[in-house]
A = this chain, B = another copy of it.
């Protein structure tokens, strides 16, 4: 299949990155990172999560971060929340694009570790959330399956199990008159490979040809961009990523594991493949380098070190070339 002309990139660095950092990052620096990203023209930036500060102390200042940043036109500013209380905190800021998602984890063990709920309990909680979406007028257009390719606790995940979970979420959405447009498949612990991506994406496309697919990929074992490329060739045009490769999951059972695919590396790959992103890569590379200063340690993004090929092409064009 031909590559898409254009893809949509959801920038998660401020949320997914900051929630895992061991060293404290000041509220001002979190705000600065969001404002720097705003200048790169993302359709969406996920800025914070509204979760219990007892479990994620790094997000205790979520309200202050939201108060601090400056909205740029053309960008949606979103937040993650795991229950109705979190949704209400997001709404109370009156500054965010609060959106609803029907989300479940494909692994029973990881579900319990990550959210303290079994899969069935998650469906019960999701029903409550759907009710809350309706009451609050929050649009819910997405279903999501985490650990959709494998789990550090349970091993490989059967794609049919994932299809079953999506089916159940979409049934719940239908029962509540929600118009779901997007199906997210999250490779939360970096288990996917290009063949697994093709199989899983193909099964979802066959079953629900009218829905758009989003991939949330982690680069845990270096296959992030290979997986993104394989997905794009299947027609997937919607991706999550985090500037400089910020992120990782605090409950995935390993230390020092790489986070999301690095946004600037994804944008760079797309540029080389002739796929538009709308993102200003020159600026984003500066933000990636700034992100390393903000967290105070090296981050895994490659292009910020290897250099933007366009800049080498420019320099080469300016040089007198040998005959």
Give A88-110 interface residues, CB cut-off 8 Å to B.
Answer: 108-109
A273 contacts partner chain B, Cβ-Cβ < 8 Å:
yes
Residues of B within 8 A of A155 (CB): 312-313, 316-317
Identify A193's interface contact among B153, B273, B305, CB under 8 A: B273
Closest to A250 in B: B305
Chain A interface residue bracket vs B: 35 or more
Task: Give the copy number.
Answer: 2
Is the pair A195, B313 in contact by a Cβ cutoff of 8 Å? no
Which B residue sits closest to A314, measured CB to CB?
Answer: B155
B302 touching A220 by the CB < 8 A rule?
Answer: yes
Asked if A225 is at the interface of the complex by the 8 Å CB criterion, the answer is yes
Looking at A12-20, A136-144, A256-264, the stretch in contact with chain B turns out to be A256-264
User: Which residue of B222, B306, B317, B319 is within 8 Å of A303 (Cβ)?
Assistant: B222
- Selected from B156, B190, B222, the residue in CB contact (under 8 A) with A262 is B222
The distance in angstroms between the C-alpha atoms of A313 and B191, with both chains bound, is 11
User: Is there an interface contact between A306 and B257, defined as CB atoms closer than 8 Å?
Assistant: yes
Q: Pick the contact of A226 from B150, B226, B258, B306 — CB < 8 Å?
A: B226
Given A194-B229, A273-B193, verify A302-B256 contact (CB < 8 Å). Answer: no
Q: Are B193 and A154 neighbours in the complex by a CB distance under 8 Å?
A: no
Which residue, A225, A300, A305, A321, has most C-beta atoms of chain B within 10 A?
Answer: A305
What's the Cα separation between A186 and B156 when bound, in Å? 35
A265 CB-CB contact with B under 8 Å: yes
Chain B residues with Cβ below 8 Å from A301 are 222
Distance in Å from the Cβ of A219 to the closest Cβ of chain B? 7
Q: Are B306 and A273 in contact (CB under 8 A)?
A: no
User: Which residues on B sit within 8 Å (CB–CB) of A258?
Assistant: 302, 305-306
Report A144 CB to chain B, min CB distance, Å. Answer: 21
Least distance between A201 CB and chain B CB atoms (Å):
16
A193 touches B306 (CB 8 A): no
Q: A223-B225, A225-B222 are in contact. Are A306 and B254 (CB under 8 A)?
A: yes
Contacts of A225 in B (CB 8 A): 222-223, 225-226
The smallest C-beta distance from A167 to any residue of chain B, in angstroms, reads: 20
For this complex, 11 residue pairs linking A to B, each with C-beta atoms less than 8 Å apart, are A109-B321, A150-B309, A152-B316, A195-B272, A220-B306, A221-B309, A222-B306, A251-B298, A255-B307, A257-B305, A257-B306
